[in-house]
A = this chain, B = another copy of it.
Amino acid sequence: MRLGEPVEWALHCTTVLALLPADGALPASKLAEFHGVPAAYLAKALQSLSRAGIVESVPGRNGGYRLGRPPAEITLLDVVEAIEGQESSFRCTEIRKRGPARVSPRLYLPVCAIADAMYRADEAWRAELRQTTVADLLQQLATSVPAEAVMKGAAFLQEVFR
């Protein structure tokens, strides 16, 4: 089970966008430069975030991306599901209904005990991701990111909005 790289990018980009001035907008190319990731591919992830309403795109010159709603209202699950989709990690192909022991389909319960347990674990994962918001991340990052890195980041943003 593996999450794609764009998930990491999307999470970092969301936190950076949360630090922007209220009416500012950061282009995808700058976000890519800031994180050292391929710009064209990162754009795909940002489009997914845009479709999900997590960020909103500002077209035209001086355009870019900004947050679509307050950081406190964006959970990590929102971001992850925007990129990876909402399907469960476990795929039940109903093999219990195949083979020589199969019986009439209407005799089976909707979900077997195995799928039920797997879905429960999936929900536990989602519940944990739902508990952390981007606002929480900002608070933690404020005390954990090296001061020098904060200054460099601020300088980079000021250069963009100059």
Q: Which residues of A contact B (CB under 8 A)?
A: 1-3, 5, 7-9, 11-12, 15, 33-37, 76, 84, 87, 89-93, 95-96, 98-103, 107-109, 112-114, 117-118, 120-122, 124-129, 132, 137, 140-141, 144-146, 148-149, 152-153, 156
Contact = CB atoms under 8 A, between A and B. Distances in A.
Contact of A103 (B37, B87, B103, B149): B149
A155 to B, nearest CB: 8
Given A5-B91, A8-B95, A35-B95, A124 B128 contact: yes
A9 B112 contact: no
Which 7 pairs of residues, A with B, have the shortest CB-CB distance?
A36-B98, A113-B140, A125-B125, A121-B128, A101-B153, A124-B128, A107-B146
A9 B118 CA distance: 13
Contact of A76 (B100, B121, B148): B121
A156 B100 contact: yes
Contacts of A152: 100-103
Contacts of A3: 1, 89-91
Contacts of A156: 100-101
8 contacts: A2-B87, A3-B90, A34-B101, A36-B99, A76-B117, A100-B156, A114-B137, A125-B128
A141 to B, nearest CB: 5
Nearest to A116: B140
Contact of A102 (B37, B102, B149): B149
